[in-house]
Amino acid sequence: MTASNMGKAINSLASFIFSSFSRYPRSPSTVARMDANQYRTALRALRLNQTTAARFLGVAVSTSHNYAQGKSPVPEQIAMLLSVMIHLKIGPIEARETAGLPIDDYRGGRAKE
């Protein structure tokens, strides 16, 4: 899957999940601003390390490290996807299944309850 297709898949998944429930506690503009600390916290909540998160999100490992260190801004789609996954308590495998995407061989976790 190309980076462009992965980006489209992430957008599609985020849109699907976001529309699947009506009581979202935060506005999309709040979700869109994710700083480095929030990114690291989201990964911990989803039991992902930066390398596994990079594979799941379809970005380079160095890009995931840059998000975590505040060297690059976390894109709105990624911030929304991670926030929605935490809210729904689903991990990467469940997210990919929900979106109808193939399950990779990466090892992902489930959101902490």
Question: What CATH number does residue 31 fall under?
Answer: 1.10.260.40
Mean pLDDT of 30-52: 88
Question: Quick check: is 112 in a domain?
Answer: no
- pTM for this entry: 0.67
pLDDT on residue 47: 94
Question: Quick check: is 55 in a domain?
Answer: yes
Question: Quick check: is 104 in a domain?
Answer: no
pLDDT on residue 37: 95
Range of the domain at 65: 3-98
Structure tokens at 96: 């990919």
Question: Quick check: is 27 in a domain?
Answer: yes
Mean pLDDT of 38-57: 94
Mean pLDDT of 21-37: 60
- In 3D space, the residue among 36, 9, 35 whose CA is nearest the CA of residue 95 turns out to be 9
Q: Is the pLDDT of residue 61 over 90?
A: yes
Question: Quick check: is 90 in a domain?
Answer: yes
Domains: count for the chain: 1
Task: Scan for tokens 């890009």, then name that residue.
Answer: 63
Question: Quick check: is 31 in a domain?
Answer: yes
